[in-house]
Amino acid sequence: MKIYIDLVLFLNFAFDFILLLTVSLVLKRNVSLKKITLGALTGSLTILVLFVPFTTITLFILKIILSIIIVMITYGIKDIKYILTNLFYFYITSIILGGFMYYLNIEFSYKNIGMIFYHKGMGVNYIFILIASPIILYIYTKEMKKLKEINTLNYKVDVYLKNKKIIRLNGFLDTGNTLIEPYKKRKVIITNSKEIASYINENNFFLVPYETVSGSGLLKCIKVDKLYIEGLGIRNDIVIGLTKEEIRRNGIDCILNYLLLEDKK
């Protein structure tokens, strides 16, 4: 079997460059393309070490050391946590890309009859790999950013009712909710919780006017003993408004008031 060293070096450089660039975008590292290129070049040259007959354990340890060197060259050295975070995302991104490439190679290169697989001689070519890799990693980067944004706006909320009952809700800090009740200027959080609805009766609620793009109306609100919002602490200056509309976020049952961020600052 012939191995073209120049092709191996080029492909490895291209993959390392894409991986390092993706990690830089996901973690928002302020790194120049020059450093990313230098890191990728280091990675492509170190591939030559893999042709040396090492034992499995030695080769494994050597790969880890080389990946640490690549990460340190690209993103610099601040502290251990910084290096480990960069290294972790470098590995995760590599696994995701490698998994997709393996899947595509299996799909195009093998055919099965029942549980029997055989090679049909149509491997994924290098040009296709280089085209597909940035697309896969672009989708990964976009989804990772979306996930990080969602996680930073999710809060666990404990509602302490007057009857000493505690209701636990999953809250989302929404920029669209800046509703303030006009009586005591308290912030309103909105929920469609059935437990909160069952607590409301004719004597313990008041109405708060609201306006949205789709119209206006009156929102049933209650004052509770207190709320504990994870990351924001205990709050007594908040009322809860009940809506019958569906909250269109998976696992979320209350919309927090975005003005809570001002209090956090």
- Tokens linked to 154: 């999710």
pLDDT tier, 174 (very low <50, low <70, confident <90, very high otherwise): confident
What's the pLDDT score for residue 100? Answer: 73
Q: Residue 193: enclosing H or E segment and its boundaries?
A: none
What pLDDT was estimated at residue 114?
47
| CA atoms within a 13 Å half-sphere pointing along the CA-CB vector of 174 | 20
What pLDDT, in 10s, does the model give residues 42-91?
A: 888 777 666 677 777 887 888 888 889 999 999 988 888 888 989 998 88
Do residues 40 and 17 lie in contact, with contact meaning Cβ atoms separated by under 8 Å?
yes
- What integer pLDDT is reported at residue 127 of this predicted model? 62
Judge whether residue 125 has pLDDT over 60: no
Domains of the chain: which residue ranges?
5-152, 154-264
Q: Which fold has domain 154-264?
A: Cathepsin D, subunit A; domain 1 (2.40.70)
* Separation between Cα atoms, residue 260 and residue 253, nearest integer Å: 17
- The pLDDT of residue 38: 92
Residue, of 7 and 236, whose pLDDT is higher: 236
Find the mean pLDDT for residues 235-252.
81
Mean pLDDT, range 82-108, rounded to an integer: 79
Question: pTM to 2 decimals?
Answer: 0.54
**Using CB atoms within 10 A of its CB, is residue 22 exposed (0-12), middle (13-18) or buried (19+)?**
buried
